[in-house]
Structure 1
Amino acid sequence: MYMNIDEIEQELGVMQLSDSFFPTGIFATSNGLEYLFSQNKIHGMTDLAEMVKINIIQQIGPTDCIALADIFENSNEGNFDRIIQADNTLFATKSIKEIRDASVRSGIQLVKCVAEFVKDDKMLKQYQDSILEKKANGIFPVAFAICCNAMKIKKEKSMMMMLYGFSVAVVGAALRLGLIQHFEGQKIIHKIKPVIAQTIKENSNKSLSEMWQFAPQMDVIQMSHEKMDSKMFIT
């Protein structure tokens, strides 16, 4: 059974937004990994896989994924006030300034880029205008949901892309730091697939009021990275 033209275009959109070539700046983040590496507190593939898993289960899944799902629902209903609410709520959950600022920069850059070639989506235009008018922050998961919806990419696939993109960014940072080798990086990505799938299943139909996160050790690591005198990565 062959895919129709719309399905092919959607898959190409998935590939485009998932590509590290897409200019969002996520490749410059390590999510605190650089600090752990500098302090010799992380050793090899097993530790790195555990770090990615904790971030997905304890932070990104119950916050970013829920916000993304909420954006899809309200975009389809044309409820822009709720989109602004989700943007502000998610912004407030990012307690680490470095992480919050990096997420906003990436989100704004994503919207700016997608708006260059998607000209007919009302929500995308409205969200971009709200960022320029300082009514929205442009936090990345919200921006990502808006852009995926504008490109006709479905909710669950968008969540998958976001979680996979985070995993690849951390693994890529580990490779550049010399913590792991390329084959080990692919093993980690493969190992984390069931975690991504389960996280999507658990968070794809929750409301904004159900958002939470609890990973105090990661918070401390991220704050410590912010205070490093010399660093290769933004976070």
Structure 2
Amino acid sequence: MNIDEIEQELGAIQLSDSFFPTGIFATSNGLEYLFTHKKICGMSDILEMVRTNIIQQIGSSDCVAIASVYDFAEKNNFEKLIEIDNMVFSTKLIKEIRDSSVRSGIQLIKCVSEFVTNDEILNQYQKQVLGKNCHGVFPVGFAICCNALKIKKEKCMIMLMYGFTVSVVGAALRLGMIQHFEGQKIIHSIKSVISKTVKENSNKSYLEMWQFAPQMDIFQMSHEKMDSKMFIT
């Protein structure tokens, strides 16, 4: 590996680390509601929840958006990036999930802009987000930040899905649903799903974005109405 490749790897590790301040650690993606109302229990149920989200929501929508962000960033077509941002925002049907995505996306952009100051696309995007000309949804912001750090498109998609998996597993641990060894089994088991999802979506157009997980939507909406909760979503 040359110096540039090593720096790209370090950038990927930095953005993937739960230490990075995006606030994702405070989300459970509806898991807290499912646990509280005894609709889910144990490792196998959590694994199925993660798998469903990756296949039916994140892969088919967020990862497709990431692929297009990379394509249009390479062409320096900023108008299309704004269009993708608006489309991703509109696909997030649950207000709590939508707001959380925007908060995390804006926080990510602000943080990366502190140490990556010479990327034109990142600077333009931050300016438009701060000017409220676009939303700053997390998948688009994540792709722009990864691109600014010279991280490859497929790796960016892997990082997004891995981050989601870890956030759910972390929530399950804090809720006392599983033990650490079981959490690692879930992460290992989901690797094949992530790999297949990357292969299926890495070359799709943003016009092919879709998501369909109505039961998860209902659970996430129900979480928003809970009187007492540990997690934002």
TM score, norm. by length of structure 2: 1.00
**C-alpha deviation, 1:133, in angstroms:** 1.0
Shift of 1:138: 0.3
- For residues 94-120 of structure 1, what are the alpha-carbon distances to aligned partners after superposition, in whole Å with 9 as ceiling and x for unaligned? 000000000000000000000000010
Structure 1 residue 186: deviation in Å?
A: 0.1
Matched, 1:35 2:33: yes
Deviations 1:11-50 (A, max 9, x none): 0001100000000000000000000000011110000000
Partner of 2:96: 98
Summarize deviations over 1:74-111 as a string: whole Å, max 9, x none: 00100000000000000000000000000000000000
Compute the displacement of 1:152 (Å). Answer: 0.4
Aligned with 2:210: secondary structure?
coil
Report runs of 4+ in structure 1 exceeding 6 Å deviation: none
1:71 alignment partner in structure 2: 69
Q: Distance in 1 between matches of 2:207 and 2:82?
A: 14
Could you give the per-residue CA deviations for residues 172-192 of structure 1, whole angstroms, max 9, x where no partner exists? Answer: 000000000000000000000
Partners of 2:66 and 2:209 in 1: how far apart? 11
Overall identity of the aligned pairs, in %: 71
**Mapping of residues 46-125 of structure 1, within 5 Å:** 46-125=44-123
Partner in structure 1 of residue 176 of structure 2: 178
Choose from 157, 160, 173 the match for 1:159.
157
Structure-1-length-normalised TM-score = 0.99
Residue in 2 that maps onto 1:220? 218
TM-aligned CA deviation for residue 132 of structure 1? 1.0
Secondary structure of 2:190's aligned partner: helix
User: Any idea what the Cα deviations from partners look like across 1:195-223, whole Å, max 9, x if unmatched?
Assistant: 00000011110001111111000000000
In structure 1, the residue matched to 2:167 is 169
From 199, 204, 213, give the equivalent of 1:201.
Answer: 199
Q: Which SS does the other structure have where 1:51 is aligned?
A: helix
Which residue identity lines up with residue 7 of structure 1 in the other structure?
A: E
Structure 1 gaps of 5+ residues are none
Q: What is the alpha-carbon root mean square deviation over aligned residues?
A: 0.4
Letter of the aligned partner of 2:26 in structure 1? A
Q: Across the two proteins, how many residue pairs are aligned to each other?
A: 233
Offset of residue 64 of structure 1: 0.2
